[in-house]
Amino acid sequence: MKVSMIVATLALAGFSFAANTSMPDNIAVYAAAQSNGSISVGNKLAYTKSFDVTVVKLFGDDVDLSKLCLKAYSPDNKMFRLDTVDEELTTGILKEGKSVKGIAMFASENAAVLDAAVVKITDDCK
């Protein structure tokens, strides 16, 4: 299974482009949609989308996960910021060939977050 994950990653890398240099090219993010939800407080409403996420360090130097963040994107390239995340995905040092797993939830007042389909890792955490 590890070999097929690496082959799939390399195949996807062939289709990618370097539009944003803040996306590390030596870290793979595997995300499977888990659930859609909502939060309401009084008249305020937010929509949520959760993913099971695995982050894998493919090659190169160790990476400090506290300096990176996850963002979700819809097919029309709308970006959604992380709301809640398992600590394993945001702390510690990730070494070559190692992985961490956890749940990441993205929330927005915009219902388009329910269409989010891709989770990326970046050092642009603004």
CB-based contact 70:82 (threshold 8 Å): yes
| Per-residue DSSP letter, 9 | H
Among all chains, which residue has been given the structure tokens 């970006």? 79
Residue 106 has pLDDT above 90, yes or no: yes
Q: Model-level pTM greater than 0.85? A: no
Residue 6: predicted pLDDT? 40
pLDDT, one tens digit per residue, over 2-52 is 434 443 443 444 444 444 447 888 999 999 999 999 999 999 999 999 999
Q: Which of 104, 113, 94 is nearest to 56 (CA)?
A: 94
Residue 23: predicted pLDDT? 81
Q: Which domains does the chain have, with CATH numbers?
A: 2-122 (2.60.40.4110)
Residue 3: predicted pLDDT? 39
